[in-house]
């Protein structure tokens, strides 16, 4: 056990260091405040896991934006678990050169409300507008006697607190004492190598968060002569894909693509230490190849498969498999391209990737590698197209498949003024929120057929906006959004359930026709009732 102040002194002296392979600081303001609330109430905040070794590892030269000195000679402790908590405490308790509430560092200024009538409330807050009132005790002053005394004098002089300054100073001293006396358990690993340290972290880290495979391989393949970790490179790939206009893709499929390119079929549960040993020296080349392949996969999705933005990809495994294909076959011929389009749509409608089935993914990787190398065809046998879901839930891959089909089938959409809607920009900017409910006040309001992409003026519902359209615009606007005449008649008559029923029937029929056209005899319909009976 170490006193909180002792732990921060270790960081300030450079003896406790944050390895560069650690994930960056990602905590939100409310998490920072919750941490302080737990400390003041004496609740445990978890242990800190450190690895003490004479081995030299590249580390961060700044923690929470504060410069730390180089490591001293001799053994050094490397932080394996607790980065978010330690950075929060270091960044908010240690004196910062920048004034409170200015610049990018304002998140590190946390205050404790003094004199609150109900001590059960959350008493900590951020303040970044202007000079804080006197009854807010800055955490920056807690460990520095000079700053604490200065704040006590301010309480005595400020007209808003002078009459109650003695009580407020007493409360501030109690707060400071609770923080100074707070002890944090420190688990120390001595000696050994980085592989064993990372394995220990993955088993016993106090936060309960298992280290992700990409973080583990990033740690195990870290090379001192390189500035970037695997985690850095994955972040860079994600940024470059986002910059292309496709939007954000998750780290996991990028990492899995890198693993697949190394020749692995088990990209979800490989023996990461063995993989790191096998590809350690060649990892830079593999990552570079993966970046090129993923950009080719993204171009295919956008311009061949009709996926305008990343969040509409039904399953992340599809991106991994396409990345693997374009690594082996950078310039496919027309027949291969058409086969890939057919495969993409078929796997979007089926359950082959639902739930992250590891066996199905291993088999799909093996088949895709063989297809790319001209040794096999992409078979769709055994795949079953799932029916259209009732509810609009964009976490459901089958819902995203429907949205993609609808985007491609209806093409250009028109706004209330009869002008074309910049659909891709709207979807990229607003995400799923771009899909608005048409009618409300019905039990089927959550139905997927009750959503369209149609901006309206503030305060205007989609239903009212459509019903109030001039006759010359009514038909072309509604048809462009996939509202057939029978459904429109129900909407104009304010028969809301009838509208949803008619539009659902029309959309289901159109989508089933497209599925049959794409899948042919290989992709069959799942006729199992939804209740599984």
CB contact at 8 A, 233 and 292: no
Which pLDDT band, with edges at 50, 70 and 90, does 207 fall under? very low
Closest CA to 190 of 82, 6, 50: 50
Q: Please report the pLDDT score of residue 501 as a whole number.
A: 94
SS3 content of the chain, % helix, strand, coil (to 5): 55, 10, 40
CA distances from 219 to 235, 330, 511 (A): 15, 31, 46
Closest CA to 345 of 300, 314, 320: 314
Residues with Cβ within 8 Å of 249's Cβ and at least 6 positions away in sequence, in order, are: 238, 241, 242, 310, 313, 316, 319
CA dihedral 362, 367, 373, 377 (to 10 degrees): -170
Q: Please report the pLDDT score of residue 49 as a whole number.
A: 84
* Mean pLDDT value of segment 118-125: 75
Task: State the pTM of this model.
Answer: 0.68
Q: Please report the pLDDT score of residue 450 as a whole number.
A: 94
Where is average pLDDT lowest: 29-43, 104-118, 415-429, 454-468? Answer: 104-118
Residue 138 has φ and ψ, to the nearest 5°, of -75, 135
Q: Is the pLDDT of residue 482 over 90?
A: yes
Q: Is the pLDDT of residue 202 over 70?
A: no
Q: Which helix (H) or strand (E) holds 78?
A: strand 76-81
* Mean pLDDT value of segment 302-312: 95
DSSP string, 427-480: HHHHGGGGSEES--SSTTTTBGGGEE-----TT--HHHHHHTS-HHHHHHHHHH
Q: Nearest 5°: CA angle at 171, between 165 and 177?
A: 135
CB contact at 8 A, 183 and 2: yes
Q: Which helix (H) or strand (E) holds 492?
A: helix 485-492
Q: Nearest 5°: CA angle at 183, between 182 and 186?
A: 150
CB contact at 8 A, 350 and 385: yes
CA dihedral 71, 72, 75, 76 (to 10 degrees): -30
| Tokens coding 401 | 């498949």
Residues with Cβ within 8 Å of 469's Cβ and at least 6 positions away in sequence, in order, are: 416, 477, 478
Q: Rounded CA gap, 173 and 176, in Å?
A: 5
DSSP collapsed to 3 states, 356-401: HCHHHHHHHHHHHHHHHCCCCCCCCCCCEECCCCCECCCCCHHHHH
Q: What is the pLDDT of residues 136-194, one digit of tens each?
A: 999 989 988 989 999 999 999 999 988 889 999 999 999 999 998 899 988 887 766 66
Q: Is the pLDDT of residue 37 over 70?
A: yes
Closest CA to 243 of 311, 286, 313, 295: 295
Q: Is the pLDDT of residue 468 over 60?
A: yes
If you average pLDDT over every residue of the chain, what do you get? 85
Residue 14 Rama label (left phi>0; alpha psi -120 to 50; beta)? left
Closest CA to 351 of 382, 327, 395, 316: 382
Q: Is the pLDDT of residue 419 over 80?
A: yes
CB contact at 8 A, 66 and 91: yes
Q: Rounded CA gap, 218 and 262, in Å?
A: 15
Residues with Cβ within 8 Å of 199's Cβ and at least 6 positions away in sequence, in order, are: 273
CA dihedral 188, 194, 196, 198 (to 10 degrees): 80
Q: Is the pLDDT of residue 325 over 50?
A: yes
CB contact at 8 A, 52 and 77: yes
CB contact at 8 A, 224 and 216: no
Who has greater pLDDT, 436 or 200? 436
Q: Please report the pLDDT score of residue 527 as a whole number.
A: 44
CB contact at 8 A, 251 and 238: yes
CB contact at 8 A, 482 and 442: no
Q: Is the pLDDT of residue 526 over 60?
A: no
């Amino acid at each position: 056990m170490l006193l909180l102040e002792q732990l921060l002194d270790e960081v300030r002296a450079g003896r406790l260091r944050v390895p560069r392979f650690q994930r960056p600081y990602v905590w939100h303001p409310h998490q920072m405040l919750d941490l302080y609330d737990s400390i003041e109430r004496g609740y445990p905040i978890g242990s800190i896991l450190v690895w003490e070794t004479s081995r030299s590892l590249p580390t961060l030269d700044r923690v929470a934006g504060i410069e730390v000195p180089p490591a001293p000679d001799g053994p050094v402790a490397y932080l394996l678990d607790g980065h978010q908590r330690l950075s929060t405490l270091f960044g908010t308790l240690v004196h910062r050169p920048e004034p409170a509430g200015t610049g990018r560092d304002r998140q590190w200024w946390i205050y404790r409300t003094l004199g609150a009538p109900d001590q059960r409330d959350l008493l900590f807050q951020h303040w970044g507008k202007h000079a804080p009132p006197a009854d807010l005790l800055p955490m920056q002053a807690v460990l520095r006697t000079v700053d604490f005394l200065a704040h006590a004098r301010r309480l005595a002089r400020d007209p808003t607190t002078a009459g109650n300054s003695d009580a407020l100073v007493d409360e501030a001293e109690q707060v400071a004492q609770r923080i100074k006396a707070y002890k944090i358990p420190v688990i120390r690993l001595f000696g050994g190598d980085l592989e064993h340290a990372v394995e220990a972290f993955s088993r016993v880290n106090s936060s309960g968060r298992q280290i992700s495979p990409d973080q583990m391989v990033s740690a195990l393949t870290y090379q001192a002569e390189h500035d970037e970790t695997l985690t850095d490179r994955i972040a860079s790939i994600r940024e470059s894909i986002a910059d292309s206009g496709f939007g954000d893709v998750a780290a996991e499929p990028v990492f899995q693509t890198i693993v697949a390119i190394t020749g692995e079929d088990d990209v979800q549960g490989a023996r990461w230490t063995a993989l790191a040993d096998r590809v350690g020296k060649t990892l830079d080349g593999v990552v570079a190849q993966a970046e090129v392949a993923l950009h080719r996969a993204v171009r295919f999705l956008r311009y061949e498969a009709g996926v305008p933005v990343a969040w509409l990809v039904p399953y992340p495994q599809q991106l991994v498999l396409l990345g693997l294909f374009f690594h082996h076959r950078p310039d496919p011929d027309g027949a291969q391209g058409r086969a890939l389009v057919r495969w993409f749509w078929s796997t979007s409608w089926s359950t082959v990737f639902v739930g992250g089935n590891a066996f199905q993914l291993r088999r799909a990787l093996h088949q895709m590698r063989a297809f790319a190398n001209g040794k096999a065809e992409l078979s769709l046998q055994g795949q079953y197209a799932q029916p259209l879901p009732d509810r609009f839930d964009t976490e459901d891959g089958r819902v995203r498949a429907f949205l993609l089909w609808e985007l491609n089938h209806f093409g250009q959409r028109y706004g209330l003024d009869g002008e074309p809607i910049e659909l891709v920009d709207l979807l990229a900017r607003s995400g799923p929120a771009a899909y608005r409910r048409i009618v409300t006040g019905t039990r089927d309001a959550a139905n997927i057929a009750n959503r369209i992409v149609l901006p309206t003026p503030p305060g205007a519902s989609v239903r009212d906006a459509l019903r109030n359209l001039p006759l010359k615009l009514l038909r072309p606007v509604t048809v462009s959004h996939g509202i057939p005449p029978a459904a429109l008649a129900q909407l104009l008559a304010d028969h809301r359930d009838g509208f949803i029923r008619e539009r659902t029937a029309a959309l289901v029929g159109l989508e089933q026709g497209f599925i049959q056209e794409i899948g042919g005899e290989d992709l069959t319909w799942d006729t199992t009732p939804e209740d599984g009976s």
